[in-house]
Amino acid sequence: MGFDRKLLAIFIFPILACTLLITLTSIPNSLSIEWLDVTVTTDKPSYTYRSLVTIYGKLWLSGNPRSGVVGVEVVNPNNQTLITRSVPAGTPTLSNIVEIVEVIPCDQYGNPKYTFKKGNFAHVKVKIKSNDLLSSRHVIITVVAYDNDSTPILPNVKYLETDILPNGTIEYKPDFFLYSWISTGTAKFYACVFSDWPRNGGLPYTLEQSVQFTITSTSSLSTSALTFNREIEPKTESNMYSLNFRLPPDEESGAPFGNYTVYVSADSQGYTGKNAASFIREYQIIGDTKFDHKIDVLDVVMVTSKYGLKSGESGWNPEVDVKPSGKIDISDVVVVTQKYGQNY
C-alpha cells in the first residue's frame, strides 16, 4: 500500500498543479484588484491674512483617469471644520442613493427669502431624500455659506448628524449670523451630505447643491429668486477637481495661525479612496499688508489707496480691510499707523 500511495502522488500532484494554474490564469480581468487614488494639494504651502486658498487634485483608477465625486473637509488648528464641499472630478455618474432635493434661502419660519441684512441672521432650508428602500443610512448634512469674496461666513460648518429611514426625507434649517466684516453682494450656501466626516473616511453621497442669496447693508428686499446652481463646472481634464475659499479674518471668525489639514474622500461607482494635505496660516502682524515682516510706508500706501471703498465695489480688496468692517476707513489707517516701524 505504501508503494501505491507514492505512485498515486507522482501522478495526481502534477495534475492538480496544472488544474490550479489553468484556473488562476482564466480569471477574468474584471476580478483583478483595482484601487482609486485621489490626490490633493494647495496652490501654495502657506497663506496670509484673508488670502485665497485653492485646493485641487485628480482621481485615478489603477493609473487611469477617472471621474467621481470628491468630498473635502478643511480643519483649522483649533480642530474646527472650517468648510466642507463635495465637488465633481470630471463628469461623475451619480448613484444618488441619498440625494439633496432642495436648498432654499428662507426666513426663520422656512418661507423663501433671498436678501438678508448684515447684523441679522440668514437662514437656509435643506432637504435630503433616501432612495434606499431597504436600509437606514447614517448621514451628516453640512452647510457652509460664502460671502461675495468667497469667505466662509462662520468659523465652522453647520451640520446635522442623524440616520435617515428607508425612502425617508430629512429637513435641516440652520442659521448664519452676518457679521459686520462680511462683504455685501451675491453670496452662496453650499449643502453636502456625507456618510461620515471625510477626516474619518466618510464619503459624499452625491454632489453638493448650492444656491445664491444677497447680503446688503440696508433693509431693501429682493422680490425675485436667484438662480439655483449645482456648481458643475467644466474641467480642463476629465479627472480633475478644484475649489477655493478665502481665509476669514481673525476677529469673530476663527482663522488662527498654524497648520490646517485638508481631508479628501472620493467615490467613483463603488471604488473609494482618501488622502490628506496641509497648509500653514502664517504668523503675521495685522497691518503688514505686504507680508514682508515689517510695517512701513508701503503698508500705509496700500491701505490709503483703497480708502473709502466698500465691499462689493470695484477695486475692493478684503486683504486690506485690516480692521474688518466691510469698508476701508480711518479705522484701517489707524491699525497700520499705530504699528508703523514695527519689525517681526
Q: What is the CATH number of the domain that holds 300?
A: 1.10.1330.10
Task: Give yes or no: residues 125 and 239 share one domain.
Answer: yes
DSSP 246-289: EPPPSTTT---SEEEEEEEEEEETTEEEEEEEEEEE----TT-T
Same domain, 246 and 341: no
Among 263, 281, 299, residue at a domain's last position? 281
Are residues 75 and 168 located together in one domain of the fold?
yes
Which pLDDT score, from 0 to 100, does residue 284 have?
94
Q: Are residues 250 and 316 in the same domain?
A: no
Indicate the helix (H) or strand (E) that contains 304: helix 297-304
140 & 165 share domain: yes
Same domain, 276 and 288: no
Position 312 scores a pLDDT of: 83
pLDDT number for residue 34: 72
User: Which of 260, 281, 302 is the C-terminal boundary of a domain?
Assistant: 281
| Contacts of 284 by beta carbon, 8 Å cutoff, 6+ apart | 48, 49, 257, 291
pLDDT in the model for residue 123: 98
- Give the model's pLDDT for residue 317: 94
Give yes or no: residues 235 and 340 share one domain: no
Residues 323 and 253 both lie in one domain: no
| Residue 3 pLDDT | 47
pLDDT given for residue 236 in this prediction: 55
**Bridging pattern class, strands 271-281 and 258-268:** antiparallel
Name the residue range of residue 119's domain. Answer: 36-281
- Note the pTM of the prediction, 2 decimals: 0.86
Residue 35 has a pLDDT of 83
How many other C-beta atoms can be found within 10 angstroms of the C-beta atom of residue 46?
A: 13
Are residue 8 and residue 68 in the same domain, yes or no? Answer: no
Q: What are the φ/ψ torsions at residue 59 (nearest 5 degrees)?
A: -110, 140
Residue 265: the pLDDT is: 98
Q: Per-block average pLDDT, block size 10, for the chain (344 residues)?
A: 50 50 43 79 97 98 96 96 97 96 97 97 98 98 97 96 98 96 96 98 98 86 40 63 94 82 97 98 95 96 96 92 95 96 96
Among candidates 59, 44, 55, which has minimal Cα distance to 83?
Answer: 55
Centroid of chain to Cα 6: 68
Same domain, 60 and 177: yes
Residue where one domain finishes, among candidates 266, 281, 296: 281
The pLDDT score that the predictor gives to residue 178 is: 96
Is the same domain home to 252 and 166? yes
Q: How many separate domains does the chain show? A: 3
Same domain, 341 and 276: no
**Can you read off the three cell numbers belonging to residue 154?**
462662520
Distances in Å between the Cα of 205 and the Cα atoms of 38, 77, 95, 127, 208 are 17, 27, 8, 14, 9
